[in-house]
Structure 1
């Protein structure tokens, strides 16, 4: 890969996905719970990874732009047919467990309405403008497991 930023982003996506699958014990390739990196197909971006019902948008940059990223993640969730878009922002010098997972206040409110059990995992911090909440990736793994337990996908 000749673009260093793209290579760094790909490594971060792979590390984040591997962390979630490892901590949650998802290993079988046909397991619906497996968190999977996505390949861009077509004109509409569907996010960097899918962790049903979440689209994950991974970011490995020094200067955060969380509100912009959240708008991007939410559009990508709609494009993918998923309910929620979140951003996974790498924290420099830390492992994947300590990455920051941002969710907009609006999306969190919808999530709490859809799956009230998620209120037990109220995010650790609300940003100063009240626009988004933040978990660590380790905390988000617990949220993901709880949401999936409360609301498994419907098989056609």
Structure 2
């Protein structure tokens, strides 16, 4: 791969995918899927022309993986929401790489709207949802479209497992 930035981005996407598959117990010790046809497997998406479908599919989430020095979270979240719609998934989010940190410390960003929809699907009050998954708010000025919540990739792994366990039809829709 000639472009070093593209290579770095691809490596980060693969690291996130591999981490979530291991965290969720979907692969064996060699990294091979237990069930290669399962809709629960976390996969890097093949790009499909002009209608981008996100970097990683982890039903019910489309994940935009970002390995850049300067974050632009509100812009990334708008991109993730558009790509989730293109892919037919209900939620988009962003995982931003933290320099010199293990992949589990990647920062997961979710818009307030998406955060609320996920929380309601799980039937949880806001305070419980925030505490259980380590969410912290980022309130950027008076423009609420720039507000978002952040947790770690480790916390997202727990959320993903709980969502799949408690909300019916998730893996069926992902096949």
Q: TM-score range by the shorter chain?
A: over 0.9
Paired residue for 2:63? 56
Contact 1:117 1:146 in 2 (8 A): no
| 1:87 and 2:94 are equivalent in the alignment | yes
Paired residue for 1:149? 165
Paired residue for 2:108? 101
Deviation at 1:92, TM superposition (A): 0.4
Paired residue for 2:38? 31
Paired residue for 1:74? 81
Secondary structure of 2:68's counterpart equals coil
Deviation at 1:83, TM superposition (A): 0.4
Gaps of 5+ in 2: 28-33
| 1:137 and 2:131 are equivalent in the alignment | no
What is the total number of aligned residue pairs between the two structures?
A: 156
CA displacement 1:56-76 (0-9 Å, x = unmatched) = 000000000000000000000
Q: TM-score, normalised by structure 1?
A: 0.93
Contact 2:45 2:55 in 1 (8 A): yes
Contact 2:12 2:67 in 1 (8 A): yes
Contact 2:63 2:95 in 1 (8 A): yes
Paired residue for 1:44? 51
Residues 1:117 and 1:21: Cα distance change in structure 2 (over 3 Å): farther
| 1:114 and 2:132 are equivalent in the alignment | no
Distance between the aligned counterparts of 1:152 and 1:43, measured in 2?
Answer: 32
Paired residue for 2:6? 6
Distance between the aligned counterparts of 1:137 and 1:68, measured in 2?
Answer: 20
Q: TM-score, normalised by structure 2?
A: 0.84
RCO higher in structure (CA 8 A, sep ≥6):
2
Q: Which deviates more from structure 2 when the two are superposed, residues 51-60 or residues 113-122?
A: 113-122
CA RMSD of aligned residues (A): 1.7
Deviation at 1:110, TM superposition (A): 1.4
Distance between the aligned counterparts of 1:125 and 1:112, measured in 2?
Answer: 14
